[in-house]
Structure 1
Amino acid sequence: MKSIVKFWNKMSLVQQIIIGLIIGIILALLFPEQLSFIPFFGDLFVGALKAVAPVLVLFLVTSAIAQHKAGQKTNMKRIIVLYLLGTFLAGTVAVIASFIFKLELALPDASSSDVAPPGGIVEVMRNLLMSVVDNPINAIATANYIGILAAAVMLGLAIKHASDTTKTVIADLSDGVSQIVRWVIKFAPLGVMGLVFNAIASTGFSSLAQYGKIILLLVGTMLFVAFVMNPIIVFINIRKNPYPLVWRCIRESGLYAFFTRSSAANIPVNMSLCEKLGLDKDTYSISIPLGSTINMAGAAVTISVLTLATTNTLGVEVDLPTAILLCIVSAISACGASGVAGGSLLLVPLACSLFGISNDIAMQVVGIGFIIGVIQDSCETALNSSTDALFTATAEYAERRKQGIPY
């Protein structure tokens, strides 16, 4: 037993996760009913990450703001530009792909009437602004990261001129929560085993077969964004081979996000990755939680692809100006309403309204989205979350290149 434990500890976390993934698949295929308790491990892992993430963000951002010195650069402006540019370009890629592969949907009679999409861009922005002024305690309890960020920034500014002892206490609390995160992440292989077991045992692959084409278009577009578009953006900024960085972010961040299907749960994972990459803590402690809210390339892809598949089904002609408008709307709405229950799928009716498509039909499309969500949402979250770390690293490496500092 000691030799097994020693061998296990020698392996990297990614290798351990892959083993957990393989075991989960095998057990789900062979004993889907006999081992029905295994999904509990996945729920426990995701629940632990979700529980610690809001507190981690609060203390990390507060500490970073409180101890920030005048004149110290954080690269936040470049990171925000990369976030917004990446989201817009992802929507544009999705629109082009939808024009090339004109897919149609078999719209079901069932609609997701139990959920309500936002009524327009004004409502999306109103929800965003109301999230900013949310009660800090409620923001932590409900994982409202816009509200948590706003509270942390204000608290950090308020104690910026406090005594060094106060700042040290905040920094120690931040380090303590970070250590808890490291402990939780050590259980990732067991959590991934439970998550993949649950996905295969409960859903299987047969129910997704009839929606194979739309899944292929969604996943194919997201893969193009991850392995072609994002590397081009990274190369333009750092002027060296981008793929080692791209692959590491996908391997160490995207893999977690694919199985947890939660940007909130992946915030601690991205924080840990940024630390391993040697990035400035003052920067990534703010950019990572911010990215989980506004860096939504995967959401923009989902909104654009499903909306244009609906127009193809109904025979609605889409001209170039309207297609460009769709890119803008999908990017803005994805950034502004990322915290709405149901994620990007509930933004499809908003985009469909650009083409005069009724809400009843649009909600049928949302219903299809929930059916394929086991694949679509996993890939979307993996793209969104891994890009948070990727663009944070890109911004800092670009600044180092500019100053002639090795990286």
Structure 2
Amino acid sequence: MRNIILKWNNISLVTRILIGIIIGALLAVTIPDSAKWVSILGSLFVGALKAVAPILVLFLVVHAISNHKSGTKTNMKSILVLYAIGTFLAGVVGVVASFLFPVSLTLTTGAQDVAPPGGILEVLETLLFNVVDNPVDALLNANYIGILTWAILLGLVLKNAADTTKTVIANVSDGITRIVKWVIELAPFGIMGLVFDTIATNGLSSLLEYGQLLILLLGCMFFVALVVNPIIVFGFTRQNPYPLVWRTIKESGLTAFFTRSSAANIPVNMNLCKKLGLDEDTYSVSIPLGATINMAGAAVTISVLTLSAAHTLGIEVDIWTAIILMVLSAISASGASGVAGGSLLLIPLACSLFGISNDVAMQVVGVGFIIGVLQDSCETALNSSSDVLFTATADIAKKRKDGKTA
């Protein structure tokens, strides 16, 4: 048994995850009733990631900031610029693609029980209240805006603390990181359970009616991941972006696709940043921040579904309104983490640009829930893998600049 475990651990994590995917899919297709227990593995895995992520973020950020030496440069400004560019261009792609390939929706019910925000001010208000949330509540509810705020403040206060205090924080941070590595090693079994549960519960038949919409949405997301993001990376690094793009998709996007949670994927991204040799002072802040505000996939979802609703109702969209939608989808996407339900519940806000009633907009949200098994998975994969991609891009650009300066 020990030899089997050693051989299993010697296989790359990505290969083990692919094995888990295949086994989960086979079990769901062949013996869905007899293998129902497999789905528990998926729930346990996501639960473990969500449980450890908030406390990991808190101590990593406190540790990074409290040990930051004055005068040491980080890449946070560059990363924030990259996050903003990536999210805005994703909104542009969604709008342009919707004009080129207009889609009509078969509107549905089923989203009446959820309450979308009343406007962009409500989204911003939610984010501001998350900033001043009670730290205990922030940890319990995985409010990463609140966690980041408290972590930054504690880190700044503890910069002048005794070395023994900083050592304790460092030891706790290292201990939690070790636990995270144990959880990540269980990813193949967890993802096997998630794949089984998805196929056995939903199947793929319910997606066929909305195939054209799914193709448009996923096509936009793939275009952003494989064309737009590489162009951004090349613009900053002046080197072939695809080795880095493929690695972030393979090692971050793959797990995010199945967990469908940027927050749950934070430990995975932290681990990947460490393997890439990035500056811990930077990525310990940029990764949880990215999970909160870097939402290219959400910008695509908001813009595409909104314009699909407009096309369905025969509403003519002029160029200036389209440009406003590009900006609004980017801003709304960045605030999606502050709204329960994420990007889908921001669709009524965008629909209001075209005078679409809330009743119709909520039917569009219902469509989003139906196709969510693929839409949300791809959206999260794009969002989460971009966090590592842009953090690494800023690091490479900084080293290139320092090399030229020297």
Q: Name the structure 2 match of 1:134.
A: 133
For the residues of structure 1 that align with 2:16 and 2:69, how far apart are their CA atoms? 40
Structure 1 runs (4+) greater than 6 angstroms displaced: none
- Give yes or no for contact 2:98–2:307 (8 Å, CA) kept in 1: yes
Deviation, 1:382, is: 0.1
For the residues of structure 2 that align with 1:177 and 1:6, how far apart are their CA atoms? 24
- Give yes or no for contact 2:62–2:155 (8 Å, CA) kept in 1: yes
Give the 5 Å matches for 1:8-407.
8-108=8-108, 110-404=109-403
Residues 3 and 173 (structure 1), Cα distance of their counterparts in 2 relative to 1, 3 Å cut = closer
* Count of equivalent residues: 404
- Give yes or no for contact 2:76–2:282 (8 Å, CA) kept in 1: yes
Deviation, 1:354, is: 0.3
Map Cα deviations across residues 369-405 of structure 1 (whole Å, 9 max, x no partner): 0000000000000000000000000001000011118
Equivalent residue of 2:148, what SS? helix
For the residues of structure 1 that align with 2:291 and 2:7, how far apart are their CA atoms? 35
For the residues of structure 2 that align with 1:119 and 1:400, how far apart are their CA atoms? 45
- Give yes or no for contact 1:300–1:330 (8 Å, CA) kept in 2: yes
Deviation, 1:159, is: 1.0
For the residues of structure 1 that align with 2:55 and 2:5, how far apart are their CA atoms? 32
- Give yes or no for contact 2:194–2:259 (8 Å, CA) kept in 1: yes
Equivalent residue of 2:285, what SS? helix
Where does structure 2 lack aligned partners over 5 or more consecutive residues? Answer: none
- Give yes or no for contact 1:111–1:360 (8 Å, CA) kept in 2: no
For the residues of structure 1 that align with 2:117 and 2:332, how far apart are their CA atoms? 9
Deviation, 1:2, is: 4.7
Deviation, 1:4, is: 3.2
For the residues of structure 2 that align with 1:154 and 1:6, how far apart are their CA atoms? 43
For the residues of structure 1 that align with 2:225 and 2:23, how far apart are their CA atoms? 27
Equivalent residue of 2:264, what SS? helix
Letter in 2 for 1:167: K
- Give yes or no for contact 2:126–2:338 (8 Å, CA) kept in 1: no
Q: What is the aligned-residue identity percentage?
A: 68
- Give yes or no for contact 1:127–1:337 (8 Å, CA) kept in 2: no
- Give yes or no for contact 1:128–1:337 (8 Å, CA) kept in 2: no
Map Cα deviations across residues 294-334 of structure 1 (whole Å, 9 max, x no partner): 00000000000000000000000001110000011011011
- Give yes or no for contact 1:295–1:384 (8 Å, CA) kept in 2: yes
For the residues of structure 2 that align with 1:230 and 1:6, how far apart are their CA atoms? 38
Letter in 2 for 1:28: A
Q: Name the structure 1 match of 2:6.
A: 6
For the residues of structure 2 that align with 1:336 and 1:2, how far apart are their CA atoms? 48
Residues 3 and 175 (structure 1), Cα distance of their counterparts in 2 relative to 1, 3 Å cut = closer
- Give yes or no for contact 1:298–1:381 (8 Å, CA) kept in 2: yes
For the residues of structure 2 that align with 1:324 and 1:171, how far apart are their CA atoms? 47
Map Cα deviations across residues 72-115 of structure 1 (whole Å, 9 max, x no partner): 1111000001001100000001100000001100112x141211
Residues 51 and 169 (structure 1), Cα distance of their counterparts in 2 relative to 1, 3 Å cut = same
Map Cα deviations across residues 231-258 of structure 1 (whole Å, 9 max, x no partner): 0000011111100000000000000000
For the residues of structure 2 that align with 1:279 and 1:339, how far apart are their CA atoms? 28
Map Cα deviations across residues 54-84 of structure 1 (whole Å, 9 max, x no partner): 0000000001110111111111000001001
Deviation, 1:223, is: 0.2
Equivalent residue of 2:24, what SS? helix
For the residues of structure 2 that align with 1:114 and 1:78, how far apart are their CA atoms? 41
Map Cα deviations across residues 275-307 of structure 1 (whole Å, 9 max, x no partner): 000000000000000000100000000000000
Map Cα deviations across residues 347-379 of structure 1 (whole Å, 9 max, x no partner): 000000000000000000000000000000000
For the residues of structure 2 that align with 1:271 and 1:294, how far apart are their CA atoms? 17
Deviation, 1:3, is: 4.5
- Give yes or no for contact 1:258–1:378 (8 Å, CA) kept in 2: yes
TM-score (ref. length: structure 1): 0.98
For the residues of structure 2 that align with 1:155 and 1:43, how far apart are their CA atoms? 33
Deviation, 1:341, is: 1.6
TM-score (ref. length: structure 2): 0.98
- Give yes or no for contact 1:75–1:395 (8 Å, CA) kept in 2: yes
For the residues of structure 2 that align with 1:7 and 1:148, how far apart are their CA atoms? 39
Letter in 1 for 2:255: Y
